[in-house]
Amino acid sequence: MLRPVGAKTFQDYATLVFLPYIKAQLAKSNRVDMIWDVYRQDSLKNTTREKRRKGVRRRVTTVNSIPGNWQEFLRIDDNKTELFHFLAHQVVENLSTEKEVISTCGENVLCSHVHQDVSSLAPCTHEEADTRMFLHVMDACSRERLSQAAAAYSGH
């Protein structure tokens, strides 16, 4: 979704493109959930993905260069998996905010608030982000209800 315009390394991509986008989303909300697909070798979808693969494997590290062909890079499941993990960690570790940022990272969940209970979200064995989103919506709604109840109670 976010092309690496102006970024030379994956760290540049995180710093110049991805983190500013997440900050902009946080300006309009109290919580941002980043939910990524998981690519499993034993998945029925793996056969379809293998037919589409025509790209080069590139390790995602802070100092490695952004590939010249971003779309080709994203055709390789291992590239996407490393990119998603990298970005999840970048957001949680480098974005200072009082607001909540929650990101899937494989079957686990990372959260900007260290002591936040994420047991309703992880571990999660859903492969598709589309279905994982429902868990995050349910979690956000239940936290909002708890917050409203606490505010009502403290008002008495």
Q: Where are the domains of the chain?
A: 10-154
Residues 18 and 91: beta-carbon distance below 8 Å: yes
3-state secondary structure of 68: coil
pLDDT in tens, 82-130: 999 999 999 999 888 889 999 999 999 999 887 678 888 999 888 889 8
pLDDT in tens, 15-66: 999 999 999 999 999 999 999 999 877 655 655 555 566 778 999 999 999 9
The whole model's pTM is what?
A: 0.83
- What is the structure's pLDDT at 56? 84
C-alpha 117/C-alpha 34 separation (Å) is 17
pLDDT at 148 over 80: no
What's the pLDDT score for residue 16? 97
Structure tokens at 44: 């029925």
Taking the C-alpha atoms of residue 90 and residue 102, their distance in angstroms, rounded to an integer, is: 12
pLDDT given at position 61: 97
Radius of gyration of the chain (CA): 17
Distance CA 153, CA 145 (A): 12
- Between 4 and 94, the more confident residue is 4
Quote the pLDDT of residue 155. 62
**Residue 73's pLDDT band (cuts 50, 70, 90):** very high
For residue 74, which of 50, 51, 56, 47 has the smallest C-alpha distance? 56
pLDDT at 151: 72
d(CA 68, CA 37): 23
Average pLDDT over residues 130-150: 85
**In whole angstroms, what is the distance from residue 71 CA to residue 113 CA?**
33
Alpha carbons 146 and 46: distance in angstroms, whole number: 40
- The larger pLDDT score, comparing residue 131 to residue 151, is at 131
Contacts of residue 7, defined as CB under 8 A and 6 or more positions apart, other chains included, come to: 13, 16, 17, 66
Residue 79 neighbours by CB distance under 10 Å: 20
